[in-house]
Structure 1
């Protein structure tokens, strides 16, 4: 049987200039062998390679390797030397396995040359101490107009640029999974409408190369890759290249390491029950063999798709904090190891990032090797929250992107928004922030594509065209017109101000918006303006068209201009039209005060926790609490206080917190035991930030000093209540043995009393202020029918019970 090794160099869809021929050495006429390892008939390339195009080497390799996907068994790479003398090592990958017609495995090397001129290269194969090299070959790289790969800007580290130095502002939306045909169709629509950025998941149901065999796929299992899925991702990358999209490739999603949230752990090949080595999902981060196989998988991904300049970044994990028993320390160690491996393996230096849903790991985001930071946001008021997030992430000094957003995390909710009000609000609100890129809507499959909402992106892309953010220092500005209904977001620089004005009764979301748009008109005024000529452009934010242009003269540091719009929003560019002046100020809109920051930025309620008057036996007896102030909490949604209200009191004796809650409830319902569904019953929830250190990067459920105790009353006289700890890194879904509780059924509800040992909750830490705790109380009102739509929740402080920054501040007297 004749085995042929050919070297093919493909120009990735970019035509080479005629007349420039590749130069090469004479083809090797004999196989290169070392023991059982053999390269056969290496041939030179037959064509040129354009700068930043695809140089692809295809080779047949014979070996005694048992697993050609394992680089510890057999590894193939190319050593390439640039025209300037820089050496690159590019890993190879298996593209086809030996079969009846071919007694050798097919390996390929994909490389993107970044310098025009003559490149020299060798192909190398290694297996268990054996090593073979091809002769040296040469090929010519022709200079091209391609911009190269993406990187953090060297001129301004808050933004991105291409290798050739041109500016890049990401605008796009998620298309995390699809069929190949859907990708090709939707990518074409995205490119046509000015989008340049998307996000792809490698998941069990989309392009995953390593998974448990099922449905005729993943026949190899752990450590052996599914080539049909790899070929699908090949096609997706080609479609992105053809349509000008740059991909954020998500290498792991949270589902694979969770038995609770979108669970896929039961199918994960790393699961010991599936033949793997991990007893629990968390072992994936620490088990030596799991980490070795994870590195191997990374190597294959880098080798196969890292060549493409349209891979914007490797996103190591999607929402890693949703994996079971997540811990900050192991998360940091794993990310350090994997990013270091990527840096050592990827010859093209693609960027790296990762994402979280609730509590980002600040230590991971501060790693120099993490190029940019991500946020995921699901709430109706995306406008306010985006403003807050960009302020929060500014100290990192890195680009900040919104990797996912929507009104809600549940399927079907955002789909009700047929015209895309939240989508529209999110992309324009993020554009008016000094951030590295825009915001990606999650809802491609039930909102954007079914309703053909691509025009929202087209309008923004046209407005953004020609604006290079790197060259200016931007100041975010917010406020409202006199009515308070029309609100303004803007970013201001000395010679250019970008402004978005919107009707807050329609955008970002209203359950019952006005039947007809509210016409907006008035005058916008600015101070701190450089005197001289200015041009004001008024833009339609749905068509991406300039509605009008007018010229105005600034005098005395002020300028004003009229506007009118049919609603519900409009955008402006205020551009200086004179000779630049030294020390020009940044114009400031003169507006009524409006603080768009998320409620976590508001003043927290401070309250006194009195010292207990004497011994406090935990017996649900209210009488001993006489003289201690009670806090009253009633529903605000129209429900009767007779069916769901409560009052509570807190006291301390230095070592313990004592809490009593008296709940009004017409029918006390208990259906669940002390496991994970206790919150579905009638119960009291106590929230304690025992160390008073909760912040955006050290919050529930990963802060060991933050606790959620769910306590449900016993229906039996003298019976002990059930309790469970939720949202805690060590005690999640478990009972806490040091918690003492009591309950009592009353004529109109029930009473819960608890003793919380502060030292046990805080652990062995040095307290800066041991007399202050974060504290909150809520109650759950069970559904009479068991239908969760009728379940009710009543919270004392804040809007998000899991966010320790919204709880009350208790000062122990």
Structure 2
């Protein structure tokens, strides 16, 4: 890598070093920005976490001639992230250990730049060091990026044709299917995610929702102006994204949880660094959404998060807030305006333009979901006890789509908000886990995602409940296509206790048929015999695949001929459900 430097006032930066051995498309590339040896003074003269005081910004010129801008972040060198007393079982899962960051002997802090190259070839860059608003030093350099060794799908977007589903830059569809994994729960700390992601990968789940909470990954727990005391936490978050990449899991990163700004609901306000009693600038939690100093401080943290983690293709979306309407003194106008401002800030400063969303405790949200800056709807509901799960879910997802005309994802869903133990006693076979996976996928943008990961799903080994829907999702091809909801397509079903959902396209059908009497309180309903189904479809030759909905196994693969503009399934026996694909 070649570098040249131009200095106008001070020589705070000595060199930029490419520390990635073999830069490659779709892989993390890191540039270390070093001060002169034995003259480390940036952190004594300035706050390197305050981008308004001092910042290192790099403009990259790609081989095709486009530009990419990324800021540097302040980084503390470390030896490794290890498990003391590590025990791994024969299946490759961690069963014991105390996670510890071990710092590098004679290590120091410095700026680091991270990008994910999107093109192969020769890249050039200009680094500008800005102090108090003025550029005081510039450096130039170049490096070469190799072609990827495997297909690089890129980042996740909203499908701009149907506005209902997600798609990678490559054109490959993405159906989020998984659960909440909000924080670690054992001394394994971030290595808990290695276990959970491994279980997910083995069962074809690919999505997790994770919080930046003060007891896990939050950077501002101790200070909103300086993250030195949270560098070990930042390293654990680095490890999280590396582990997600290894297991093909994509993360909705929840940036703030509601309790931080509430003295009443899961209260953390008394310890919040924005609270004036702790040296902050806010007398009341709601002021976070309109106080200029607070907004500037939070944007500064967002810039650090983007700079350190924004390279990751395994970030599915930034979620600005968890259940924001729990905040004390909640104001629709103030909160909506804040969401618009922060979402625009993310879109303007994230060089990879990850999706942005938010969540409310009220299922149907408020005005923030209608903002152009909010890319999709991520709602919550724990009102799924004592109801027909699919009937309610399909109805609510349909209403939400009609309201907002954006992809609809249930970020949280459940039959009991109180505990995983009580949820297990209510649904001890995980019926609603399976129903959340299939129902969300076949009538929304992705699975409806359960809570209680550690005290229900992991504790009782319910991972297998994702398998059938996860395998089926790999066959689901809605990218760049318009479709009609199968349940609204004029489908004819001979028995009123049998319902359908899915997607009707011009030349294919993705169908899911279910016994409406099947639910967690009726786990083994009486089989409904001799069910006949008719769906309008153009004449021609088609392949019919029938799936085991628990394992994803294709149990039948036949050719069918349609000659009367109608596809017919006859003589079906439906105990729980039945899934099929009809395609050219």
TM-score, normalised to structure 1, is 0.62
Match of 2:568 in 1: 560
d(CA) in 1 for partners of 2:518 and 2:166? 33
- Of structures 1 and 2, the one with the larger relative CO (CA 8 A, separation 6+) is 2
Instruction: Show structure 2 runs of 5+ residues with no match.
Output: 36-40, 79-102
d(CA) in 1 for partners of 2:276 and 2:476? 53
For 1:247-275, what per-residue CA distance to the aligned partner results, in whole angstroms no more than 9, with x for missing partners?
11110111111111111111111111222
- Secondary structure at 2:433's aligned position in 1? helix
1:203 aligns with 2:213: yes
Q: How does 1:601-640 map to 2 (within 5 A)?
A: none
d(CA) in 2 for partners of 1:446 and 1:186? 13
Match of 2:397 in 1: 390
Higher helix share: 2
1:468 deviates by 1.2
Match of 1:449 among 438, 452, 458: 458
Match of 1:135 among 128, 136, 139: 139
Instruction: Show structure 1 runs of 5+ residues with no match.
Output: 1-23, 212-217, 578-813
1:361 deviates by 4.7
Match of 1:93 among 73, 82, 106: 73
- Secondary structure at 2:178's aligned position in 1? coil
1:522 aligns with 2:530: yes
d(CA) in 1 for partners of 2:297 and 2:235? 21
1:466 aligns with 2:475: yes
Q: How does 1:486-635 map to 2 (within 5 A)?
A: 486-507=498-519, 509-510=520-521, 513=522, 518-565=526-573, 567-573=575-581, 575-577=582-584
1:38 aligns with 2:15: no
Match of 1:57 among 25, 31, 49: 31
Match of 2:61 among 72, 81, 84: 81
Cα distance change, pair 164–550 in 1 and its aligned pair in 2 (3 A): closer
Bigger radius of gyration, 1 or 2? 1
d(CA) in 1 for partners of 2:296 and 2:500? 51
1:503 deviates by 3.1
1:570 deviates by 2.3
Cα distance change, pair 576–334 in 1 and its aligned pair in 2 (3 A): closer
Q: How does 1:150-229 map to 2 (within 5 A)?
A: 150-178=156-184, 179-211=189-221, 218=222, 221-225=223-227, 226-229=230-233
Contact 1:60 1:104 in 2 (8 A): no
For 1:481-531, what per-residue CA distance to the aligned partner results, in whole angstroms no more than 9, with x for missing partners?
666444333432233223323333332x32xx37x5533431322153333
Cα distance change, pair 409–85 in 1 and its aligned pair in 2 (3 A): same
Cα distance change, pair 164–482 in 1 and its aligned pair in 2 (3 A): closer
For 1:304-359, what per-residue CA distance to the aligned partner results, in whole angstroms no more than 9, with x for missing partners?
10011111111111111111111110011111211222122211111111111216
1:414 aligns with 2:423: yes
Return 116-125 or 38-47, whichever deviates more: 38-47
Match of 2:289 in 1: 285
- Secondary structure at 1:173's aligned position in 2? strand
d(CA) in 2 for partners of 1:69 and 1:336? 24
1:419 deviates by 1.2
RMSD, matched Cα: 2.7
1:172 deviates by 1.4
For 1:83-118, what per-residue CA distance to the aligned partner results, in whole angstroms no more than 9, with x for missing partners?
122222211111129999879741111111212111
Contact 2:501 2:511 in 1 (8 A): yes
For 1:600-623, what per-residue CA distance to the aligned partner results, in whole angstroms no more than 9, with x for missing partners?
xxxxxxxxxxxxxxxxxxxxxxxx
Contact 2:16 2:32 in 1 (8 A): no
- Secondary structure at 1:432's aligned position in 2? helix
d(CA) in 1 for partners of 2:104 and 2:578? 66
Cα distance change, pair 292–546 in 1 and its aligned pair in 2 (3 A): same
